[in-house]
Amino acid sequence: MTAQFSFEFPHRPAFGADDFLVAPSNAAAVAWLDRWPGWPSAALALHGPPGCGKTHLAHVWQARSGALLCPAAALTAASVPELAAGAVAIDGAEAADERPLLHLINLVAERGKHLLLTAREPPARWRTALPDLRSRLVAMPEVAVLAPDEALIGAVLLKLFADRQLAVGEDVVVFLLHRMERSFAAARRIVAALDAAALAAHRRITVKLARRVLDADEVDG
């Protein structure tokens, strides 16, 4: 970390009370979502490692498009017609049953609707047994969401503390950045745990308290 402790990223509306921070790691994906409904194809795949913000982006797109958001496990043959009635997002799509997914891709295209898939890997790398599904996945536009870097996680931590009206020193944030898992889920979990621990102990958030919370988080994990 440098001495200048400042993280400046644009805020974007997101689901719930959160804001979405646009950074180099997700800017390409945000640009694709901004192009909706002018996508060159009926479907788009967002892919990236766990904790990079794919599901958050799916919620951002859901709020904008009015899409249904469906976990892969809930995608069934019976659910396809209803899902394809409008915009739809399938979260964790690489785990979806292949035949309903193929039917959904085809039906969305036939009806002139739009489909967003999130996954860890690009669709062309998915292990698929159905040749028709594979051909559609290989042809599908895809964009990567990269793992958040230190600057983005720092900005997220600052925002999460501010949302809870918690005054936290720079030393605490720097300590967390050097020790915590670099993911949005970890940032939300740790800030919530720090808030609870500080309230229970009737004390401010310090590096000592942050160390205790992180040690407990590692044990629980």
Nearest Cα residue to 162 out of 187, 138, 185 = 187
User: Which range scores top for mean pLDDT: 106-115, 143-152, 185-194?
Assistant: 106-115
Q: How far is the C-alpha of 72 from the C-alpha of 19, rounded, in Å?
A: 25
Q: Is the pLDDT of residue 112 over 60?
A: yes
Q: Please tell me which of 49-63, 74-88, 179-193 the model is most confident about, judged by mean pLDDT.
A: 74-88
pLDDT category of residue 19 using cuts at 50, 70 and 90: low
Residue 218 pLDDT: 65
In the chain, the amino acid numbered 54 is: K
Q: Please report, for the domain that includes residue 33, its CATH number.
A: 3.40.50.300
**Residue 49 three-state SS:** coil
Average pLDDT over residues 25-29: 93
Domain count, the chain: 2
The tens digit of pLDDT for each residue in 127-159 reads: 999 999 999 999 999 999 998 888 888 988 998
Task: Please check whether residues 169 and 201 belong to one and the same domain.
Answer: yes
Same domain for 54 and 137?
A: yes
Last residue of one domain, picked from the residues 126, 144, 162: 144
Range of the domain at 41: 24-144
Same domain, 215 and 169: yes
